[in-house]
Amino acid sequence: MKKIAIVGLSVLLSACVSGQYTTDVSSESYREDYKTAQVELPVTNEVAETTVDTPAVVAVETKPAVTIVPPSKKQQNAMPARYGYTIQVVAVGSQAKVDHFARNLPSNGEPVWENYKVVNGTKWYTVLYGDYATQADAKKAISRLPAEFKALKPFVKSIDAIKNSPYPTLNKLN
């Protein structure tokens, strides 16, 4: 067996050394040319220099900055409603109870809503209080509610989640 392996190896090596075996080697190269675009500089305020009688003093004038003003009443009416956060004070089973809780909530300009829904065949009215930009603002407002409402364990609720619920029926009460 060793002899066959030695003979086979020598035949294989002799085949590799023969001069009749040729290969073609080719290569390709690719060149990309990049063009540089002219970059425009940002627009800045122009500065004009004015000299005063004393040659050592130079006054610099700048153009006035843009003034930001709040939106007009017409613009405010055209703006879409902002969906923030509110406080769900209580959920009750009758319209009379909704009216009772809505009357007793602090009247400091915060909106009060009722939301009617049916859950598992039961009618529920929720009383919602306030409109806050963030959850943190709404949580702070809960701490400022009277003790009778804190005892009801109010919680923060997203107005967007209410509006996207299957049957939103938000009615503003004040």
State pLDDT tens for residues 117-137.
888 888 888 999 988 888 999
This model's pTM is above 0.85 = no
Mean per-residue pLDDT, 99-117? 86
Q: What is the mean pLDDT of the chain?
A: 76
What tens digit of pLDDT does each residue of 5-30 get?
776 667 666 666 656 656 666 666 66
Where b means 16+ CB within 10 Å and e means fewer, 140-167 reads: ebbeebeeebeeeebebbebeebeeeee
For the chain, domains (ranges, CATH) are 82-172 (3.30.70.1070)
Mean per-residue pLDDT, 137-156? 90
Percent of the chain exceeding pLDDT 90 equals: 7
CA triple 154-155-156, angle to 5 deg? 140
Query: Which pair of tokens denotes residue 27?
Result: 């290569």
